[in-house]
Amino acid sequence: MNDYLPSQLARKYTGIAMVLHWVTAALIVWGFAIGWIMTDIPGFTPTKLHYFSWHKWIGVTVMGLAVARVVWRATHQPPALPDGMHGWEKVAAHAGHGVLYFLMLAIPASGYLYSSAAGIQVVYLGVLPLPTLIAADPAAATVLKHIHIWLDYALLAAVAGHLLAVIKHQLIDRQRLLSRMLPFGR
């Protein structure tokens, strides 16, 4: 039994890494959905303003979690990729993770800067006013809005690629990569 446990743990991410992964993933899906819905609401209704607030709170939370993930990843070795993976697949996996980490930081940063340039202070959870990072500038706000949107679409594509890779390695290659990020099972 003692010989089994260390080798099993070496094939899975840590519990902290799993929690950070799944909470971040859920918040990104929720933030994207709210962003999609809020932009289709005409005018400035109380509901739309609530959605904008929730969207910003999720973004700030995701940015904090992304920083925590970067620190955790830098200080904790992830499980090795399976030996059966081709070299190019391993390079693609590392590059894909790098893109995901970059976007988890860049999207909230661009949204935060967009709010600042639009002259709207972000008040986290409605109680903690965050500093305004740049002066109000309508031209910069327009550019930052477009950057924020395009980064969101890039994240959508990167997540789709990530999910397709997981499905391929799980169902076709039978490498059981998904089990490494799930808290249950082997």
What's the pLDDT at 17?
A: 95
pTM of the model: 0.88
CB within 8 A of 153, min separation 6: which ones?
Answer: none
In this prediction, residue 185 carries a pLDDT of 66
117: exposed, middle or buried (Cβ count in 10 Å: 0-12, 13-18, 19+): buried
Strand, coil or helix: what is 135? coil
Interacting residues of 145 by C-beta distance below 8 A, sequence separation 6+: 114, 118
Determine the distance from the C-alpha atom of residue 108 to the mean position of all C-alpha atoms in its chain, rounded to a whole number.
9
Residue 175 has a pLDDT of 78
Q: How far apart, in whole angstroms, are the C-alpha atoms of residue 11 and residue 180?
A: 6
Q: What is the DSSP string of 47-103?
A: HHHHHHHHHHHHHHHHHHHHHHHHHHHHHSPPPPPPTTS-HHHHHHHHHHHHHHHHH
Asked if 134 and 117 count as a contact pair (C-beta separation under 8 A), the reply is yes
Grouping H, G, I as helix, E, B as strand and the rest as coil, residue 34 is: helix
pLDDT in tens, the chain (186 residues): 333 334 433 578 999 999 999 999 999 999 999 999 999 999 989 999 999 999 999 999 999 999 999 999 999 999 888 888 899 999 999 999 999 999 999 999 999 999 999 999 999 999 999 999 999 999 999 999 999 999 999 999 999 999 999 989 888 888 778 888 888 866
Q: Which of 147, 119, 145 is nearest to 133 (CA)?
A: 119
Domains and CATH numbers, the chain: 4-181 (1.20.950)
Residue with tokens 């799980």: 170
In three-state secondary structure terms, 123 is: strand
Residues 6+ apart with CB under 8 A from 126: 53, 57
Q: Which residues pair with 124 in a beta bridge?
A: 128
Q: Which residues pair with 128 in a beta bridge?
A: 124
Three-state DSSP state, 128: strand
pLDDT value at position 186?
Answer: 60
Length of the chain, in residues: 186
